[in-house]
Amino acid sequence: MRVVVDFDLCESNAVCMVVAPEVFEVRDDDFLYVLDETPDEALRPKVEEAVRRCPKQAIAIAED
């Protein structure tokens, strides 16, 4: 699983960070950082939840 963020859509609202802080972090500079682009399978439910909760529909999961 690879986490892909469309940074043209992302507005750094940090919704994903609340859901999956292991993978997403919005820092003081107001930018989103993907901390782990290929998170462990154990984190899949959380990442999927972040995909569903992102108001800008900016996150996708690539299987490669």
Partner 1 sequence: MRSVCVVGASLAGSRAAQTLRSEGFDGTITMVGEEPHRPYDRPPLSKQVLAGDWQPERTALSAGLDDGLDLDWRLGVRATGLDLTARRVSLADGTAVAYDGLVIATGATPRRLAGTEDMAGVHVLRTVDDCLALRADLDRAPLRVVVVGAGFIGAEVAATCRRRGIEVTLVEALSVPLGRVLGTEIGSLCGELHRDHGVDLRLGTGVEGMDGADRVERVRLADGSAVDADAVVVGVGVTPATGWLEGSGLVLDDGVVCDETCLAAPGVVAAGDVARWTHAHVGEAMRVEHWDNAVQQGAHAARRLLAGEGPGAGQPYCPVPWFWSDQYDRKIQLAGRAGLDAEVAVVMGSLSERRFVALYGRDGQVIGALAMNWPAQAVRWRVRIADGVAWDDALTEARAGDRP
- Examine residue 13 and tell whether it contacts ligand SF4 (CB under 6 A): yes
Binding to ligand SF4 (CB under 6 A) within 44-63 occurs at 54, 56, 58-59
Q: Given its phi and psi angles, is residue 57 left (phi above 0), alpha (psi -120 to 50 degrees) or beta?
A: left
Q: How far is the CB of 11 from partner 1 (least distance, A)?
A: 5
Cβ distance 49 to 59 under 8 Å? no
Q: How far is the CB of 2 from ligand SF4 (least distance, A)?
A: 15
At which residue do the structure tokens 């529909």 appear?
Answer: 57
- Examine residue 26 and tell whether it contacts ligand SF4 (CB under 6 A): yes
